[in-house]
Amino acid sequence: MDIDAIYKLIAPDMERVNTCIQTRLRSEVVLINQIGTYIINSGGKRLRPVIHLLSARAFGHDADQHIDLAAIIEFIHTATLLHDDVVDGSDMRRGEATANNLWGNEASVLVGDFLYSRSFQMMVEIGSMRVMDIMADATNTIAEGEVLQLLNCHDPDTTEARYLEVIHNKTAKLFESAARLGAVISGRSEAEEQAMAAYGMHLGCAFQLIDDVLDYTSDSDTTGKNVGDDLAEGKPTLPLIHAMRRGSPEQAQIIREAIEQGGLGVIDQILQTIESTGAIDYTARSAKAEADKAVEALSDIPASEYKDALVALAHFAVNRNY
């Protein structure tokens, strides 16, 4: 099953989710409508809502909660993107100008806050303290991950363990919550909840690791980002951490200084070091190991076409080029 088949499987649900997003995005404040609509419609994969919809359907959920929750999850993700781009000083995302590039940092932060608060309004309407508990914990963990990443920026002594802690918190936590909530709203057992949470967490890690690979192997036409964007922002991701660990002292020093200073002045030398030390292969293998764990977590989930799609999604996460 390829990615198109996965989306086709849940196309009716996704249509309802998109309608819900457009409806609940509306505000009497024109700027909120402008920025919210711009970023929501800027070409994202809606991957986190897809995970939630597949999880809910895999457990036979046939009410409407999964539609609202999928929209809530996308709102929270979008809020983190708005805030991320301000923190990182990014001017391009998904091949388009970022909201902060067009409307300024202040507006982007405040609209991100609006999306967070709107998502919690919607959660209250669902009326489940269990849902509230999971999502409140997720947003808090994501915020911690953002701060941890900030602390790691321009720090070439960041270890692999510290880097993995960031992606667990910042990226994988929302994947985990999206998958877990499919079991929760379907009234499934604690064991099945935990299985889906493990699936989401490992999938999220795999997804971020491949993002870090693509930062050094792809181009703006394919990913919507420039090669070396993470390095330009002084982010020590796994390819750089591994390259410093395996490279010569001279190669490691060049990478250290680049992380400390930011910028792309020596990007060609660093790309050569990443290649010669096998850093891309190492990171890709780490991603595949995470994807394999995600699939393994599904072993006791009842067989269905939705489970097949969840497995296929794990394979897509590590085999994609965008």
Counting residues of the chain whose pLDDT is more than 70, the rounded percentage is: 98
In this structure, whether the domain defined by 3-317 belongs to CATH 1.10.600.10 is answered with yes
Q: Give the pLDDT of residue 190.
A: 96
Q: List, for residues 197-253, the tens digit of each pLDDT value.
A: 999 999 999 999 999 999 999 866 665 667 788 999 999 999 999 999 999 999 999
Q: List, for residues 247-297, the tens digit of each pLDDT value.
A: 999 999 999 999 999 888 999 999 999 999 999 999 999 999 999 999 999
Q: Which position has the token pair 């597949």? A: 54
Question: If you count DSSP H runs as helices and E runs as strands, how many of each does the chain have, helices first?
Answer: 18, 2
Residue 104 has pLDDT above 70, yes or no: yes
| pTM for the predicted model, two decimal places | 0.94
Residue 209 to residue 242: CA distance in whole angstroms: 13
Every domain of the chain and the residues it spans: 3-317
Residue 118 to residue 21: CA distance in whole angstroms: 11
